[in-house]
Chains A and B, each alone.
Chain A
Amino acid sequence: MKSLNRALLFAAIILLPATIYGQRSDFSGLRIFINPGHGGNDGDDRHMIATDFWESEGNLTKGLFLRHLLEDRNATVYMSRTTNFTSDDLPLSTIATMANTANADFFISIHSNGFDGTRNQPLVLFRGYDNAPASPPAKTFAHILWAKLYEKGNCWTHTSEWVKGDWTFYPDWGTQGLGVLRTLNMPGVLSEGSFHDYIPEGWRLRNENHLHHEAWAMLRALQEFYNVPPEPSGIIAGVVRDELTSPPWYFRPGTRDQHLPINGATVTLMPSGRSVTLDDLNNGFFLFDSVPPGNYQVIAGGMADFYNDTLDVEIVSGRSTLADFLPSFDTARVPVVTEFLPVTTDSLPFNQVFTLKFNVPMDRAKAEAALVLEPAASVIREWDEKSKILTIRPETGFASKTSYLIRLTTDAASKWDVHLIEEYQVSFVTRARPKLVTEQVWPPQDAAGITLFPRVTLRFDAPLDQASATAGIRLLDSQSAPLAKKLEIFSGANGKGSYSFELTSQLQLNSVYRLEIDASVKDIAGVSVGSGAENSFTTRTKTYQTGNVVESFDNIPAFWDPEASGSTVGTDNPLTTFTSSTSVIKSAPTAGRLDYVFTGGDGGVCRVFNTAKPSIGSSTSMVFAMWVYGDLSYNELEFWFYSPGSVNQIVPAATINWAGWDLISIPFSSIGGSGDWQYHSIVVRQTGSGLKSGTMYFDDAMVISPTGIEEKEEDAYRLSVYPNPVRSEGTVSFFLQEPAEVNVSLFSSDGNLVAVLFSGLTGEGKNSIPCYPSQVVAPGVYTLRLGIRNEGETLWRYSSRQWVILR
């Protein structure tokens, strides 16, 4: 009996691993195929403008690290690409064939997702219907992988499991499904680890450790799927954020992403002493991997405005412990003025604006009470969101040729009642101001081709006295009769003033108008323009075209708020909106109204996405046009389209150098790609010289038939421009019956001459003039005008074409 027991015990010991654990020790003998999706920063790659994230790069970083993890654990790993060039963007059929040829046991295609910029959650797709997978093991793995992806993060906007069959997920594709899964002869999944167009996640995806964390999650899923023991170590990961500050980009309210990540902090793991310095890519992410289980302290430090912070954490083998920091502000710091602008304090303009920057958030009331101007001046005080920057602007302007002293007494205190140690003083002198200066008039002097629906706009160096402006500024027709005004607007910003108005009826085609400014027009301080002035301009010569309306802007809920687009960057979140307008419209009942505020000095992008994405057809001879109410901001207007496959095609439409309604058009030939296009977005792109805020309106986007093209063929001259659109070198061709003086010029959409491409005598017959328009003007749609004056004649004859200039 004893020997029988011994034999049973022996057998139990031998069989124990197989019967109880049934585990492999590692991935020996397993063949895994990794496909980092897309490739090459072009073609079908996804690029997020807001975060400069390329999906191809993120996918590759995850894939390479997963390979490293698997090979360390004795797996045989194949990859469809290990670099990120255009040639790495292999056809899906080729990728699947590579996996088949490798006779892999499992296939993982690594991607990140995009939708509307408001969503962030993992999605794992397998082939087949939700409840009828083509390969049941693939569905099993998809569930495991989703759970591992989900548990390694805490910034998800949705919490429910999202594991789908591709036939269910893409019902429009029938059973074609995902191309890379269709011809696999092994189980495989496509993993969309997170959403790259959710901007907080987009920033995290720029962090290599965050990408590695996703690879760890995939490794854990493979370990569970293949019954390989989990890692004996764990991971600690988290984000360091500023609890007092909200990010300037979209975030899901109530999530951890509502706090701004802190760049550049140092995070240390104790007692190991491992340390990481956070990047400056607005993610605040840190990670320590391969940490033995146990209790640790994680310390965040090296932050200018915050105390060091310590978290106690427990590391569990085979898992990630998430620990986010919200370090406390250093409340004992003595406030000091760290910067005063402007640097020059001599001979300043009467409306000079000053800013004082503090090292800590200030008690606004105490700081304002401690601010003294000598001699006294009425000023407006404004604060930034963090109460660290105080802006002082004169209400009506400082006195002419006067010496002032700004004092900030020691009554000024921080938010935590720590006072300035010594008074801060700075003096400045204003320069003489003999008259009110007219800084801009639109339409400008001698402009041609002006819209029939202008908002006449004048900008001055000081806020206007409204009565004097209303009475002293008028638009006269060719018979010198004043036109009735409507919708007069006075506004002031940064110590300056503007006055604008519309006319009660539309202007006449090809007519000259004069804008008169009386000498009596004055500012709110009583300083007048001194002498009268007048500007004349000419309206457009051709009637507006009409076409098939593809978007009437009557269903504004179909448009996303700009911050949700995923491409919008550098805008003030609550102040940038797209709403319905019933007061300013081109056609009833509504137009779209865009209010935008850029927060930086340049490079902001404000995109309004239209979920209807109306199809506009595929004919390259058509014209796409939209009524746009310009705000004279000198920012750039773009129309965005999808070509087949949802490939984005961006077309510069115009520099916004007009005010009022105008029909802005671009030829279909300027849209990249081919096949049926869909119009999907309006974009205002901030320029360095553009206004930081404005309001525009949009109505009736149309497709116009070529038979209705405005620029009629002037057969006598056979004017043509090639190519159109043009990027570098282009050619202007025309035909002359006899030698003549020729002028070839470019005009902006508001009729301003922007470049003379050729001027001189040319011979009879066909003439071709090479030119390089993109070197002399910004991208946009221009009117090229050919002027011909025959010998002995004084009259110029003109012919024109629209020319789209790209860069």
Chain B
Amino acid sequence: MKTVFFLIVLLFSAEVYPQDIKVRSVKRVTPEDNGSYLLTGVVPGSGYLLVAGGGYNGLSLLDIRRETLKPVTDEPGAGYEPAVTADGNKIIYRSDSYSDNLKYSSVTSYDVTTGEKKKLVEKGRDVLTPAVAGNKVLVKSEGVMRIEQAGPEMKSSGAGLFLVIEEMMPVLYRDGERKALMPNGDGFYIWASLSPDGTMILYNYQGRGTYICDLSGNILHDLGRINAPRWFNDRLVIGMDDKDDGHRITSSELVYYSLGDRKRVVFTSTPERSEMFPFALGNRRIAFCTDNGELFVMKVRVR
């Protein structure tokens, strides 16, 4: 009994203690077509990366072991902020088309197993990128919001909570209720995402800094300069520290922020390679791309 108690205490301690990330190895993933890609997401519980061409045009699944590509679509804009259901079986993406040089968008659901596509939102002018909570999908077009079940019902705590950006500010939807947040006041909010446990919001404010707030908009953490921030887990955020000369990217390193000890750490040092747009791939790997469109998977040790 003592041993069980001790293990429980140890596990609990591990949860609240600071965490840090150390790089163990880095491997390049070369798509079969040797193409240049942007990393735009990962499919949970699978060996797939979501990749897109320049300008987020098109969307493909890249099998990191076989380095094979499985095209989802070649539509413009489809690679921008695609959403994946918790069971990893559905990819929901917004794609764009132009008429009279005006941008029109639609939202489509793609079944990873069958390759079947289903149009969730028809072509319209003001279409949000889709948001996912569990296996539910929120879509919004020209002011009309709709939630669709895209897989088996899940009972997890965050399953009914959606985060989108509307009018440049984070907006929460839960049970049909809409709650707009402006933790830093009026302005441009980008790169917003919910923590895996659904209790915190990560975002960047006007390019000036990255923050974490609670669901009421109270700022909990000032992360400093971390661009393209993503949750690694509930205690760690990863992102990039990219630099440029006003015209081109001159360098970029990966950086993490530990919520436990409120510490920002640049954890790569690769002057020969600009590492950008990282995503957690499970709890021991990070995928990222470079400014030249190369893709990498990094094994990390998290303590």
| A contact set with B: CB distance below 8 Å | 29-31, 37-38, 43-45, 78, 80, 87, 89-95, 97-98, 100-106, 127, 134-135, 137, 141, 170, 173-180, 182-187, 225-227, 644-647, 675
**Chain B residues positioned under 8 Å from A176 (CB to CB):** 248-249, 291-293
CB distance from B289 to the nearest CB of A (A): 10
Q: Is the CB of B54 within 8 A of A94?
A: no
24 pairs, A vs B, C-beta closer than 8 Å: A29-B125, A44-B244, A78-B168, A89-B246, A90-B207, A91-B227, A91-B242, A91-B243, A92-B246, A95-B207, A100-B80, A101-B190, A102-B168, A127-B55, A137-B98, A175-B54, A178-B248, A182-B54, A182-B291, A183-B38, A183-B54, A186-B77, A186-B96, A226-B100
Residues of B within 8 A of A30 (CB): 102
Measured CA separation A51–B105 after assembly (Å): 47
Given contacts A30-B102, A226-B101, A93 and B249 within 8 Å (CB-CB): yes
B15-30 vs A, Cβ < 8 Å mask (1 yes, 0 no)? 0000000000000000
A179 with B249: CB separation less than 8 A: yes
Judge if B120 is at the interface, Cβ distance under 8 Å. Answer: no
Chain A residues positioned under 8 Å from B36 (CB to CB): 175
B246 to chain A, nearest CB (A): 4
Contact B242 A98 (CB under 8 A): no
With an 8 A cutoff between CB atoms, is B149 at the interface? no
Contact of A185 among B76, B100, B188 (CB under 8 A): B76
Per CB-CB distance, the 9 closest pairs between chain A and chain B, nearest first, are A645-B245, A94-B207, A90-B207, A44-B246, A185-B56, A185-B80, A185-B77, A44-B245, A179-B249
Proximity string of chain B (93-106) to chain A, C-beta cutoff 8 Å, 1 when within and 0 when not: 00010101111010
Contacts A44-B244, A95-B207 given; does A127 touch B101 at CB 8 Å? no
Q: Which residues of chain B have C-beta atoms less than 8 A from A45's C-beta?
A: 246
Q: Which of A95, A141, A645 touches B250 (beta carbons < 8 Å)? A: A645
> Assuming A29-B102, A184-B55, what are 11 further A-B pairs, CB within 8 angstroms?
A45-B246, A78-B168, A92-B248, A93-B276, A103-B105, A103-B127, A105-B102, A137-B98, A179-B249, A183-B38, A183-B54
Cα A176 to Cα B293 in complex, Å, equals: 8
Quick check: A127 and B248 within 8 Å, CB to CB? no
A141 to B98, CA, bound (A): 14
Most chain B Cβ neighbours within 10 Å, of A89, A91, A225: A91
B92 contacts A by Cβ under 8 Å:
no
Contact present for B246 and A98 (CB under 8 Å): no
Query: CA of A174 to CA of B294 in the docked complex: distance in angstroms?
Result: 13
Specify which chain A residues have a CB less than 8 angstroms from the CB of B247 in the assembled complex: 92, 178-180
Say how far B192's CB is from chain A's closest CB, in angstroms.
Answer: 9
CB distance from A599 to the nearest CB of B (A): 33
Chain A nearest CB from B222 CB (Å) reads 14
Say whether B191 faces chain A, with CB atoms less than 8 Å apart.
yes
Shortest distance from the beta carbon of B298 to any chain A beta carbon, whole Å: 19
Contact with A along B283-294 (1 / 0, CB 8 A): 000000001110
A646 to B80, CA, bound (A): 32
Contacts of A29 in B (CB 8 A): 102, 125
How many interface residues does chain B have, given as a range? 35 or more
Supposing A175-B54, A176-B291 touch, asked if A225 and B101 sit within 8 A by C-beta, the answer is: yes
* B208 interface contact, C-beta 8 A: yes
Q: Is the CB of A92 within 8 A of B126?
A: no
Interchain CA distance A93-B239 in the complex, whole Å: 12
Contact indicator A179/B100 (Cβ below 8 Å) = no
Most buried by B among A31, A101, A647: A101
Report B's interface with A, CB cutoff 8 A: 36, 38, 54-57, 76-77, 79-81, 96, 98, 100-103, 105, 125-127, 165, 168, 188-191, 204, 207-208, 227-228, 240, 242-250, 271, 276, 291-293
Known: A94-B207, A226-B100. Contact between A183 and B249, CB under 8 A? no
User: Does B292 lie within 8 Å of A174, measured CB to CB?
Assistant: yes
B184, chain A: closest CB distance, angstroms: 13
Contact A175 B168 (CB under 8 A): no
Which chain A residue shows the least CB distance to B98? A137
Are the CB atoms of B248 and A94 closer together than 8 Å?
no
The complex places the Cα of A185 from the Cα of B76 at a distance, in Å, of 8
Cα A440 to Cα B276 in complex, Å, equals 63
Residues of chain B within 8 A of A646, CB atoms compared: 245
Assuming the contacts A87-B208, A97-B190, asked whether A37 and B100 have C-beta atoms less than 8 A apart, the reply is no
Which of A170, A176, A178 has most chain B Cβ within 10 Å?
A176
Residues of A contacting B207 with CB < 8 Å?
80, 90-91, 94-95, 98
Report Cα–Cα, A671/B244, bound state, in Å: 20
Q: Which residues does chain A contribute within 8 Å of B250, judged by CB atoms?
A: 644-645
Give A175 to B289 CA distance when docked, in angstroms.
14
- Check A134/B248 contact, CB under 8 A, given A93-B276, A175-B36: no
How many whole Å from B116's CB to the nearest CB in chain A?
Answer: 25
Q: Which of B103, B105, B204, B244 contacts A179 (CB 8 A)?
A: B244
Query: In the complex where A184-B55, A185-B56 touch, is A105 in contact with B103 (Cβ < 8 A)?
Result: yes
B residues less than 8 Å from A179 (CB atoms): 244, 247-249, 291
Provide the bound-state CA to CA distance between A604 and B125, in Å: 57
Q: A175, B293: Cβ atoms under 8 Å?
A: yes
Q: Which residues of A sit under 8 angstroms from B55, Cβ to Cβ?
A: 127, 134-135, 182-185
What residues of B have a CB within 8 angstroms of the CB of A31 in the complex?
A: 103
In whole angstroms, what is the CA distance A29 to B76 when docked? 21
Q: In the complex, which residues of chain A have a beta carbon less than 8 angstroms from the beta carbon of B246?
A: 37-38, 43-45, 89, 92
Contact: A91 with B244, CB < 8 Å? yes
- Distance in Å: Cβ of A127 to nearest Cβ of chain B: 7
Contact A185 B243 (CB under 8 A): no
From the candidates B57, B96, B188, B227, name the one contacting A101 in the complex (CB within 8 A): B188
A95-B207, A174-B292 in contact; A106/B190 too (CB < 8 A)? no
Residues of B with C-beta under 8 A to A87: 208
A501 to B232, CA, bound (A): 74
Nearest CB of A to B209, in Å: 9
User: Which residues of chain B are near A94, meaning CB under 8 Å?
Assistant: 190, 204, 207, 227
User: Considering only CB atoms, which chain A residue lies closest to B290 in the complex?
Assistant: A176
Bound Cα distance from A187 to B96, whole angstroms: 11
CA A179 to CA B243, docked complex, whole Å: 10
Decide if B101 touches A134 in the complex (CB within 8 Å).
no
Interface pair A134/B228, CB less than 8 Å apart: no
Closest B residue to A100 by beta carbon equals B80
- Residue of B with least CB distance to A644: B250
Q: Nearest residue in A to B249 (C-beta to C-beta)?
A: A179
- How many Å from the CB of B100 to the closest CB on chain A? 7
Measured in the bound complex, the distance between the Cα atoms of B126 and A38 in whole Å is: 30
Q: How far is the CB of B230 from chain A (nearest CB, A)?
A: 13
Q: How many Å from the CB of B260 to the closest CB on chain A?
A: 27
Please tell me if the beta carbons of A106 and B101 are within 8 angstroms of each other in the complex.
yes
CB distance from B181 to the nearest CB of A (A): 15
Are B38 and A134 in touch, CB under 8 angstroms? no
A82: min CB distance to chain B, Å: 11
Given the complex of chains A and B, what is the CA–CA distance between A45 and B188 in angstroms?
23
In whole Å, how far is B33's beta carbon from the nearest beta carbon of chain A? Answer: 14
Q: How far is the CA of A185 from the CA of B125 in the complex (A)?
A: 15
A91 to B244, CA, bound (A): 7
Whether the pair A103, B245 counts as a contact (CB closer than 8 A) is: no
CB distance from A36 to the nearest CB of B (A): 11
In the assembled complex, the CB of B225 is this many whole angstroms from the nearest CB of chain A, namely 9
Per the bound structure, the CA–CA distance linking A38 and B54 in Å amounts to 23
**Min CB gap B261→A, angstroms:** 26
Q: Hey, which chain B residues are within 8 Å of A105, CB to CB? A: 101-103
Minimal Cβ-Cβ distance residue in A for B53: A134
User: Which residue of chain B lies nearest to A128 when distances are taken between CB atoms in the complex?
Assistant: B54
CB distance from A340 to the nearest CB of B (A): 52
Could you say which of B38, B54, B249 has the most chain A C-beta atoms within 10 Å of its C-beta? B54
Q: How far is the CB of A92 from chain B (nearest CB, A)?
A: 5
